């Protein structure tokens, strides 16, 4: 009797595996789109994405594998160009504080490279060149605001820029986290007077000083603060669609405390977040490369997706595959990047 039951179980398991494979592989081959960082998406891909992304308010590109991969200096502009040309995108969000966003806007307006963090210089120079081509006054596309905690090395010079005659607390160039935290408490007391003294810069100063995140939070769960800040900035700007790029732990939809999940369940944002996951295959970086947020579908990626990837970057539309819906609507497989 036990042998009979075991035989039935094994038969059903094999049948289920066969059915799953039969359903996945043929459909998947018609839902893949190769692209390059130089040329972006082709006409077929653009046509598909215009239909697919129409219901959403926020497109989140995941930094899968490692933050240190050089592809993340160029991949955001592929999305920004497409979303601007197809949906009129004006603002985007990155994993940084508001001080960084202030300096980045300053560079986009003036071309002053002294305000840029050298690691990301390539992206900002490319974006400024793109802005020059689409806007006569150079305004173009810019950061919507800094949603993460403040990095003192960026927030200190940002406050110096905004506070035209900075008091000693702002002029202090020390950037340690403890020194920054103490300074913020003191600066908060001066905020009420700035509405009349610096009306044009007051909001940015307030967004830096009143950031609820902390520079002590680097290894803690920052998602709730990030979600609230992103929604607040977005509502203030009133654009129909936004783009963001964050680490994959923040963007995957099936993690209940992730940035993507929290926004996707918020009033007015219900099911309006589209996540683009990224799986790195044979990628290398200065730190270990890991695809751990996609662990639950990694076996399927290697079995069904990778054999279809005949370019360095392949975009898959997963909206017709309910077994992957919890992770996100789109997946990029990147091969051999560094």
Mean pLDDT of the chain: 89
Query: Is residue 193 scored above 60 in pLDDT?
Result: yes
CA–CA dist 102, 143 (Å, integer): 8
pLDDT for position 204: 97
Query: Is residue 131 scored above 80 in pLDDT?
Result: yes
- Domain extent for 190: 151-210
Inside any domain, residue 5: no
Same domain for 135 and 108: yes
Same domain for 261 and 168: no
Inside any domain, residue 2: no
pLDDT for position 26: 67
Inside any domain, residue 1: no
Average pLDDT rounded to a whole number, residues 108-124:
89
**Confidence category of residue 136, pLDDT binned at 50, 70, 90:** low
Inside any domain, residue 286: yes
Inside any domain, residue 283: yes
pLDDT for position 7: 40
Q: Of 210, 227, 258, which one is at a domain's C-terminal end?
A: 210
3-state secondary structure the chain: CHHHHHHHHHHHHHHHHHHHHHHHHHHHCCCEEEEECCCECCHHHHHHHHHHCCCCCEEEEEECECCCCHHHHCHHHHHHHHHHHHHCCCEEEECCEHHHHHHHHHHHHHCCHHHCCHHHHHHHHHHHHHHHHHCCCCCCCEECCCECCCCHHHHHHHHHHHCCCCCHHHHCCCCCHHHHHHHHHHHHCCHHHHHHHCCCCHHHHHHHHCCCCCCCCCCCCCHHHHHHHHHHHHHHHCCCCEEEEEEHHHHCCCCCCCHHHHHHCCCCCCCCEEEEEEEEECCCCCCCCECHHHHHHHHHHHHHHHHHCCCCEEEEECCCCHHHCCCCCEEEEEECCC
CATH classification of the domain holding 293: 3.40.50
Same domain for 34 and 52: yes
- Cβ atoms of 28 and 212 within 8 Å: the answer is no
pLDDT above 90 covers what percent of the chain? 73
Question: Total structural domains in the chain?
Answer: 2
Same domain for 57 and 127: yes
Inside any domain, residue 42: yes
- Cβ atoms of 26 and 256 within 8 Å: the answer is no
Same domain for 291 and 276: yes
Same domain for 251 and 304: yes
Tell me the CA end-to-end span of the chain in Å, nearest whole number. 56
pLDDT in tens, 323-337: 998 999 999 999 999
Query: Is residue 279 scored above 90 in pLDDT?
Result: yes
Same domain for 317 and 246: yes
Average pLDDT rounded to a whole number, residues 302-314:
96
Same domain for 114 and 37: yes
Average pLDDT rounded to a whole number, residues 196-204:
94
Residue with tokens 């050298």: 118
Same domain for 268 and 159: no
Query: Is residue 2 scored above 50 in pLDDT?
Result: no
pLDDT in tens, 223-243: 999 999 999 999 999 999 999
pLDDT for position 167: 75
- Cβ atoms of 82 and 274 within 8 Å: the answer is no
Average pLDDT rounded to a whole number, residues 165-185:
82
Same domain for 37 and 143: yes
**Confidence category of residue 12, pLDDT binned at 50, 70, 90:** very low
């Amino acid at each position: 009797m036990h042998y009979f039951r075991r035989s039935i179980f094994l038969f059903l398991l094999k049948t289920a595996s066969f059915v799953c494979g039969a359903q996945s592989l043929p459909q998947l081959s018609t839902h893949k789109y190769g692209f390059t960082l130089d040329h972006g998406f082709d006409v077929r891909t653009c046509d598909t994405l215009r239909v697919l992304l129409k219901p959403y308010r926020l497109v989140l590109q995941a930094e899968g594998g490692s933050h240190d991969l050089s592809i993340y200096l160029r991949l955001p502009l592929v999305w920004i160009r497409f979303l601007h040309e197809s949906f009129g995108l004006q603002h985007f969000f990155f994993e940084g504080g508001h001080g960084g966003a202030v300096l980045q806007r300053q560079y986009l307006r003036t071309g002053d490279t002294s305000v840029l963090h050298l690691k990301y210089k390539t992206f900002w120079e490319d974006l400024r060149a793109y802005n020059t081509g689409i806007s006569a006054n150079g305004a173009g596309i810019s950061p919507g605001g800094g949603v993460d905690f403040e990095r003192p090395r960026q927030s200190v010079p940002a406050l110096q820029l905004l506070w035209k005659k900075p008091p000693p607390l702002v002029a202090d160039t020390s950037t340690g986290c403890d020194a920054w935290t103490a300074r913020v408490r003191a600066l908060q007391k001066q905020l009420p007077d700035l509405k009349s003294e610096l009306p044009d810069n007051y909001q940015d100063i307030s967004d830096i000083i009143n950031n609820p995140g902390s520079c002590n939070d680097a290894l803690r769960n920052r998602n709730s603060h990030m979600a609230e800040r992103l929604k607040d900035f977005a509502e203030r700007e009133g654009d129909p669609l936004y783009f963001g790029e964050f680490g994959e732990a923040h963007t995957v939809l099936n993690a209940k405390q992730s940035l993507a999940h929290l926004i996707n369940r918020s009033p007015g944002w219900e099911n309006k977040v589209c996540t683009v996951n990224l799986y790195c295959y044979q990628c290398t970086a200065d730190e270990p490369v890991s695809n751990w947020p996609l662990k639950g579908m990694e076996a399927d990626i290697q079995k069904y997706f990778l054999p279809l990837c005949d370019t360095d970057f392949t975009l898959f539309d997963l909206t017709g595959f309910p077994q992957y819906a919890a992770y996100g609507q789109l997946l990029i497989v990147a091969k051999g990047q560094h």
